[in-house]
Amino acid sequence: MQPRRIKHWGWGYEDEPDTPQFLIDNMESYFSKFFGVSEFNTIAVPALESIALRKPRIDIPERFKDFCTNTHEERVRHARGRSPIDYVKIFNGEYENPPDVVAYVRNEQDIIDVMDWAVGAKAAVIPFGGGTSVNGGVEPRVGDGYEAVITVDTTQLNKVLEVDDTSRCARIQAGALGPDLEAQLKPHGVSLRHFPQSFQHSTLGGWISTRSGGHFATQYTHIDEFVESMRVVTPSGTVATRRMPGDGAGPDPDRLFMGAEGSLGIITEAWVQVQGRSKFRKSIAVFFDDFLTGAEAVRGIAQAGLYPSNLRIIDAEEARVNFVSDKNKDILFLAFESADHPVDAWMDRALEICADHGGQFDRAVMDNPESHRQEEQGRWRDIFMETSYYREITTPREIIYGTMETSVTWDRFPEMYERVTDITGRAMKEATGREGSLSCRFVYVYPDGCAPYWSWYCLGNHGALIDQWKHVKKAAIDEMIRLGGSTTHHTSVGRDHMPWLNAQTDDLFRNMLRAAKRTVDPSWMLNPGVIIPPGT
């Protein structure tokens, strides 16, 4: 199975390069209606052939030519992720850090061989799955300490190797893209049910490396919870962890590699828990007049031990910008699902909690089995996976589209909501001289807190978009960190978030990670600059 490839300058497949027209219409209409902007200073994306790259700095030895390449196209495709900075530079045709070689590894031995080669060549090694990092995790921005960069593309490792129906688990190669692994699981009647927004173009290994967030809004939120064991190739050897449902023997090795974002090794496969296909489902949209009141209902449900699959509240502005609703209400998308039993009792109690907090809903919609595809629910469902197209629409039009997400305990959320809203609004004005818009939603919810996600839009200026974006982003995340939040809940750290990761962790813990890294990567070649800062 050769996966279809993402187009080099945005989202979607290279054989369907057009941006969905309705998304362009939506975005232009929103800016016309709310900012009075009807014409955009739109630039075109440079053709792939026209992009200037520095020459490869190393040659591919004969024995690697079966799976390594340095064609212009492959180097362009592996030179950038999908961060706001990447998009600006893609549209400007700036590719200052292309890899010198792309290795399409076919097995663990290829990875071992490439790592050996890289040591001798003083090259950095960048693990690359789907390449959808939104925080500079895959761009070979490694500084001057390396004589070359070899990007290891894992997408040939794309097989479901084994399914254990009894334990409801599967052994899957790390380079399998979301749709590919689901297609292979389907004949077994199971699903990983891990659907990050990047699902179409991201891989299992990328999800585990970055502690991705998936389908379930509560309880089983991170991919972490589904991993039983993994294999990780490092320059010093391969670590294979033991497949166990609930170990308690010493520190968990899986948890050291999860979140290392390729800085400690390249994951080649994992045993993961899979889910039965859900047969019973209830879903509904609940409307609130005030976001913080809605958030209290969400907290009530999260603390009730009901574990809905969906418990995502979006504020009125989020509904507006995504053309989900013009009711000017905050909307809680609430759903329960089960492969085993009807979920009525669960939903009934959750709706009682909503009603206690002034939530407004029409129970009758639940009688319609297609309700999750209709009205606000349907429109949110339709748009959710499509928002990955937004940056290829906004960037050429000089629109800055920024996002921030974090996790925070409930006691601190109201202050954070107020402060981030205030600071982001002011920062957009400072950076661009113009008002912007800001919206918030919850992506994941826990008994002890939530993972809020902010999106903001404002008109910037070509040539200054990165600085303008950085100004706003820094102001907002500085405040999030100051108020006790996390650098990221589920969208990775990458190179762009390193200052905040350093702010949220102790020196001493970072020194422990450095020592662990030196053990497996003594040449410090693996994704340098990401997660583990070079030390003294």
193-222 residues near a copy of itself, rule: CB under 8 A:
210-213, 219, 221-222
Closest CA to 452 of 415, 482, 426, 427: 415
Burial 414-425 (b: 16+ CB within 10 A, else e): eebbeebbebbb
Please say which residue, 27 or 531, places its beta carbon nearer to a copy of itself: 531
Please say which residue, 256 or 464, places its beta carbon nearer to a copy of itself: 256
CA distance 171 to 157: 12
Residue of 97, 387, 403, 511 that binds a copy of itself (CB under 8 A): 511
Write out the two tokens for 79.
Answer: 């030179």
Query: Nearest 5°: CA angle at 444, between 253 and 29?
Result: 130
Asked if residue 172 binds a copy of itself (CB under 8 A), the reply is: no
CB 174 within 8 A of CB 129: yes
Write out the two tokens for 265.
Answer: 């090794």
Place of tokens 């919206």: 439
Residue of 322, 488, 523, 527 that binds a copy of itself (CB under 8 A): 488
Asked if residue 80 binds a copy of itself (CB under 8 A), the reply is: no
Please say which residue, 252 or 386, places its beta carbon nearer to a copy of itself: 252
Please say which residue, 163 or 400, places its beta carbon nearer to a copy of itself: 163
6: left (phi over 0), alpha (psi -120 to 50) or beta: beta
Pairing of strands 408-409, 169-173: unpaired
Site for a copy of itself in 22-41 (CB under 8 A): none
In a 10 Å sphere around its CB, with 0-12 CB exposed, 13-18 middle and 19+ buried, how is residue 311 labelled? buried
Pairing of strands 101-104, 148-153: parallel
CA distance 264 to 181: 25
Asked if residue 483 binds a copy of itself (CB under 8 A), the reply is: no
Q: What is the closest distance, in whole angstroms, from the C-beta atom of residue 520 to a copy of itself in the complex? A: 6
Q: What is the closest distance, in whole angstroms, from the C-beta atom of residue 495 to a copy of itself in the complex? A: 13
Residue of 48, 112, 119, 304 that binds a copy of itself (CB under 8 A): 304
Q: What is the closest distance, in whole angstroms, from the C-beta atom of residue 192 to a copy of itself in the complex? A: 13
Please say which residue, 233 or 383, places its beta carbon nearer to a copy of itself: 233
Q: Which stretch binds a copy of itself (CB under 8 A): 27-35, 86-94, 95-103, 504-512?
A: 504-512
Residue of 80, 329, 397, 497 that binds a copy of itself (CB under 8 A): 497
CB 455 within 8 A of CB 318: yes
Q: What is the closest distance, in whole angstroms, from the C-beta atom of residue 264 to a copy of itself in the complex? A: 8
Q: Which stretch binds a copy of itself (CB under 8 A): 196-204, 359-367, 376-384, 506-514?
A: 506-514
Asked if residue 94 binds a copy of itself (CB under 8 A), the reply is: no
Asked if residue 493 binds a copy of itself (CB under 8 A), the reply is: yes
Asked if residue 293 binds a copy of itself (CB under 8 A), the reply is: no
**How many whole angstroms from its chain centre is CA 446?**
19
Please say which residue, 26 or 487, places its beta carbon nearer to a copy of itself: 487
Site for a copy of itself in 348-377 (CB under 8 A): 349
Residue of 92, 236, 293, 403 that binds a copy of itself (CB under 8 A): 236
**How many whole angstroms from its chain centre is CA 34?**
29
Helix%, strand%, coil% for the chain, nearest 5: 40, 20, 40
Residue of 270, 489, 496, 525 that binds a copy of itself (CB under 8 A): 489
Q: DSSP letters of 67-105?
A: TEE--HHHHHHTS--SSHHHHHHHHHT--SS--SEEEE-
Asked if residue 411 binds a copy of itself (CB under 8 A), the reply is: yes
Asked if residue 536 binds a copy of itself (CB under 8 A), the reply is: no
Asked if residue 305 binds a copy of itself (CB under 8 A), the reply is: yes
Write out the two tokens for 338.
Answer: 């089960």
CA distances from 174 to 17, 155, 226, 444, 480 (A): 26, 8, 14, 24, 32
Write out the two tokens for 165.
Answer: 């129906």
Please say which residue, 38 or 519, places its beta carbon nearer to a copy of itself: 519
Place of tokens 């053990």: 519
Q: What is the closest distance, in whole angstroms, from the C-beta atom of residue 323 to a copy of itself in the complex? A: 29
Q: What is the closest distance, in whole angstroms, from the C-beta atom of residue 479 to a copy of itself in the complex? A: 15
**How many whole angstroms from its chain centre is CA 423?**
24
Q: What is the closest distance, in whole angstroms, from the C-beta atom of residue 416 to a copy of itself in the complex? A: 12
Contacts of 176 (CB under 8 A, 6+ apart): 157, 158, 159, 160, 184, 203, 204
Total residues contacting a copy of itself (rule CB under 8 A)? 96
- CA atoms lying within 13 Å on the CB side of residue 158: 22
Write out the two tokens for 222.
Answer: 């991170």
Asked if residue 261 binds a copy of itself (CB under 8 A), the reply is: yes
H-run or E-run covering 72: helix 72-77
Asked if residue 492 binds a copy of itself (CB under 8 A), the reply is: yes
Backbone angles phi, psi at 140, to 5 degrees: -75, 55
Q: Which stretch binds a copy of itself (CB under 8 A): 68-76, 235-243, 310-318, 459-467?
A: 235-243
DSSP-based three-state secondary structure for 133: coil
Q: Identify residue 75 by its one-letter amino acid code.
A: R
Residue of 54, 63, 255, 279 that binds a copy of itself (CB under 8 A): 255
Q: What is the closest distance, in whole angstroms, from the C-beta atom of residue 268 to a copy of itself in the complex? A: 14
CA distance 484 to 407: 9
Asked if residue 237 binds a copy of itself (CB under 8 A), the reply is: yes
Site for a copy of itself in 418-457 (CB under 8 A): 444, 446-451
Site for a copy of itself in 311-350 (CB under 8 A): 338-341, 344-346, 349
Residue of 169, 217, 316, 459 that binds a copy of itself (CB under 8 A): 169
Q: Which stretch binds a copy of itself (CB under 8 A): 74-82, 104-112, 300-308, 382-390?
A: 300-308
